[in-house]
Chain A
């Protein structure tokens, strides 16, 4: 059996999935000031009376690191950055303990300027004097040649509790993001480690030795031990949990828009033939643009409990939430109240809802029914408009080959999958106002936790080969090898797939059911003068995001034991 747990802003959803389908589902209130208690309570309650030996794993999606980054409750960490020529590295300063040192590597991974050991030692001294325990080391183009980062770590690494090296973070080119991401890893490392070790210990004490996995924002999971080296990959996994919760029920031959409508926000994503679209660069959290891979999601401030106001005769919905709907004792009118008035949904105190919507109707100079109608319609229309802009934005993303531009596919989803608390109510409005078919995801209130539980282990590999320099390297994997001058793109793909396979298994994937794919493979002849001097090859491969092997029967049972 598998446990899926998703910590949300107000509730934490926990499910227990077995061959019989959804064996158990619970909701516990989230205590933002004590997530540890929240998670532990959730795990204890869901396993009550279950033999822990039957539980294969628990996949957790938490807001731990996200909250600490957003609230800036993170320890001081040191950064050592070597940039070489280009933009001024001061522009990427992460905090007071940010030091730039000499050293330069170019776009092909060749050293232009060596590092200055004395300078590095001096910086380390100063960091130590300031009580720094966690360190990030980043050099420009380290994903082409990590030597400088490695040399700095070897020189001073033992003086710190944990050192994160930029080239081990991600294979993409983007120096400022590499700095930001390395910084975040170092910053949340102790928080993440202490939290999950405490969870594991407490569970062990109660006789619940369940292996833990952590959900990532790309909709995949990783083993807890692997997460120790990539702690910031645990941020913003909430939207991914929901999207993965819809994947099991998405058509495999169609494009779908996924809408997770919550109390405060609506999160949006796109599935193409049942596979979620990824953001090619990395997620943004607060002011930090990172290299942390994530699903392509957009969050807007419209949800069931959004505040409804009338300003200059116009309805405004959200982006804030001041509590529950008035029907449930909340302080201000909300779309949920409008839904109750219209009879689209039922619940709470109808009189309270009417009271709330009456204030809106008065401000608009109309009756309650009309006001409710206009609120609901506007909420639905806003969601559809924003979803439309997201699709347009994805379609407008640049491509770099004639083939892609000429043959380029344009997204045009014609089906919407809705989940989240008010999903069935909103579905009715969305269907009326759009020309898409609208489906409510089964078990829509806990689909997020189901998604966390069923998500597959994901990871990716970037390989760079330069036959003139006779080197193939995937610094993120600590891999580098000498290659012959006749090394081809196909050889590079084979190497990358092999690395990916090993990485996926180490991160927790099932070696019998790996779904790997090449996402980019390019080979350029390098011509100097009028002779071809070598080939410059770039390959990226990934585990396709999706659900674990064998989820179909579970998903089917979840569908059958339903509903609406």
Chain B
């Protein structure tokens, strides 16, 4: 009898009846060939690989991670409730120790969704990892979490949500933002003033192959994880670093993904992007499942796999090494860098424009964070989407100190109702969200 070495949970939800639009990469067909391969390989018959039916997330689960504008129903479809629910189902199976690890092979994805959501960006509406993580924090009392985002695109949404959280280590390995959407994720993005160093970006040059990506995992990610000591490691398992991906320029392979998974040993993996639906996804997904289950994947490769053709140049190797050195240097100096960033400030501001490519929305945000040594800090976000809604969102983090909590309520209560379409307060200490709006 074929048996998995690690008991592994799987939610497979291909959403065969949902698409952003008929020819959009995020369409019905995306996981069709993955299903074919996984079924044909008989992976679901392996003893110790357990397939779960996804539960739906609740409104409250979503509101722990997001401010949805104008409301939740405007930004969520049924399939978002299911894909976030699939991640949650896997997390519960892991936390309840039904399985040692789990993989949510779900769509639509989520890692480009920010804390404030006016619509879809980068094919994402809500951040399914963040919804899952905030759920297990609430339900199981998990505190320290590490997210390793191996999608080819910078996980800017996840970075946004955890920018100020010193208890969430967010590491994103991606193709350099100067050459790819969303154009962020540079070395200098290290986290907000209260969480400097908890955000780590490893931008790699185009045409990096397995050698470079696995080097970054071994030399940078693993040592940092060891030092951070997370209770849970989450892998945002995008598959678009693949050499055949149509919208990126990297040279990773199914073998490489399986090895990455073996090295990283994530407790939970959640599918993100990956649009080489025929040439890559069937093999990459099979490889990730086998690797999670601790099974042999040495016979797995793409039909057109040619390691010589996708080998990285010495120049790429030098660039990768240089980037990795810099990341480690920042990590070692994070306390010092934090002090420099904070200076004598009591409040700090961030002003930025956010573009929603999928829904063509222009958002302008003014963020104010209370500089705090005891907690993540009270956060105030003034967000206006051009020709749409203007809202004020106040976030009181988990484990907030009394001063920050009071600050949050003060911001909420003293906000000028006439200026905003809606005012939100997300109090993560009390696990509530409250809203108010001027009667129209």
Contacts and interface: CB of A to CB of B under 8 A. Distances in A.
Interface string B294-317: 011011111100000000000000
A106 interface: yes
A86 B42 CA distance: 10
A405 B54 CA distance: 8
Contacts of A85: 283, 299-303
B29 A526 contact: yes
A174 B39 contact: yes
Interface string A90-113: 011000000000001011100010
Contacts of A401: 15-17
B45 interface: yes
B28 A86 contact: no
Nearest to B282: A107
A402 B40 contact: no
Contacts of B43: 87
Interface string A502-533: 00000000000000000000101111011110
B41 A107 contact: no
Contact of A177 (B29, B32, B45): B45
Interface string B104-126: 00000000000000000000000
Given A85-B301, A85-B302, A107-B282, A536 B17 contact: no
A399 B54 CA distance: 9
A183 B259 CA distance: 34
Contacts of B14: 400
B318 interface: no
A532 B41 CA distance: 28
Contacts of B296: 87-88
B319 interface: no
Nearest to A88: B299
Interface string B19-52: 0001100011100110111011111010000011
A396 interface: yes
B375 interface: no
A376 interface: no
Contacts of B300: 85-87
A176 interface: yes
B139 interface: no
Contacts of A141: 36, 40
A176 B78 contact: no
B286 interface: yes
Given A107-B282, A400-B14, A527 B29 contact: yes
Contact of B41 (A175, A289, A527): A175
Contacts of B27: 525, 527
A176 B49 CA distance: 15
Contacts of B283: 85
B430 interface: no
B22 A532 contact: yes
A112 B303 contact: yes
B368 interface: no
Contacts of B41: 86-87, 175-176
A397 B52 CA distance: 7
Nearest to A399: B53
A525 B28 contact: yes
Contacts of B387: none
Given A104-B303, A524-B32, A140 B54 contact: no
A87 B52 contact: no
A403 B79 CA distance: 9
Contacts of A525: 22-23, 27-29
A176 B42 contact: yes
A38 B39 CA distance: 41
A529 B36 CA distance: 22
Contacts of B16: 400-401, 522, 524
Given A85-B301, A88-B298, A401-B16, A108 B33 contact: yes
B106 to A, nearest CB: 11
B33 A91 contact: no
Interface in A139-162: 140-141
B12 to A, nearest CB: 6
Interface string B125-160: 000000000000000000000000000000000000
B84 interface: no
B35 A400 contact: yes
B278 interface: yes
B271 interface: no
Among A88, A173, A405, which residue has the most Cβ atoms of chain B within 10 A? Answer: A405
Contact of B12 (A112, A289, A398): A398
Contact of B79 (A140, A177, A402): A402
Contacts of A526: 29
A51 interface: no
Interface string A178-204: 000000000000000000000000000
Contacts of A536: 29, 32
A452 B393 CA distance: 68
B29 A524 contact: yes
A479 interface: no
A87 B23 CA distance: 32
B29 A402 contact: no
A406 interface: yes
A34 interface: no
B256 to A, nearest CB: 15
A287 interface: yes
B39 A403 contact: no
A199 B53 CA distance: 48
Interface in A400-417: 400-403, 405-406
Interface in B400-436: none
B22 A398 contact: no
B82 to A, nearest CB: 6
Contacts of A403: 17
Contact of A175 (B22, B42, B56, B303): B42
A539 to B, nearest CB: 14
A308 to B, nearest CB: 32
A402 B107 CA distance: 11
A107 B15 CA distance: 19
B26 to A, nearest CB: 11
Given A88-B298, A398-B52, A399-B53, A107 B29 contact: no
Contacts of A173: 36, 39-40
A143 B51 CA distance: 24
Contact of A107 (B37, B78, B298): B37
3 smallest beta-carbon distances between A and B, as pairs? A176-B42, A107-B36, A112-B303
20 contacts: A85-B302, A86-B37, A88-B298, A88-B299, A92-B2, A106-B303, A141-B36, A173-B36, A289-B45, A398-B12, A400-B14, A400-B35, A401-B17, A405-B54, A405-B56, A525-B22, A525-B28, A525-B29, A527-B27, A532-B22
Interface of B: 1-2, 11-18, 22-23, 27-29, 32-33, 35-37, 39-43, 45, 51-54, 56, 78-79, 82, 246, 278, 282-283, 286, 290, 295-296, 298-303
Interface of A: 83-89, 91-92, 104, 106-108, 112, 140-141, 172-177, 287, 289, 396-403, 405-406, 522, 524-527, 529-532, 536
Given A87-B299, A405-B13, 12 more contacts: A87-B41, A106-B303, A107-B40, A107-B278, A108-B33, A175-B41, A176-B2, A176-B41, A401-B15, A405-B53, A530-B23, A532-B23
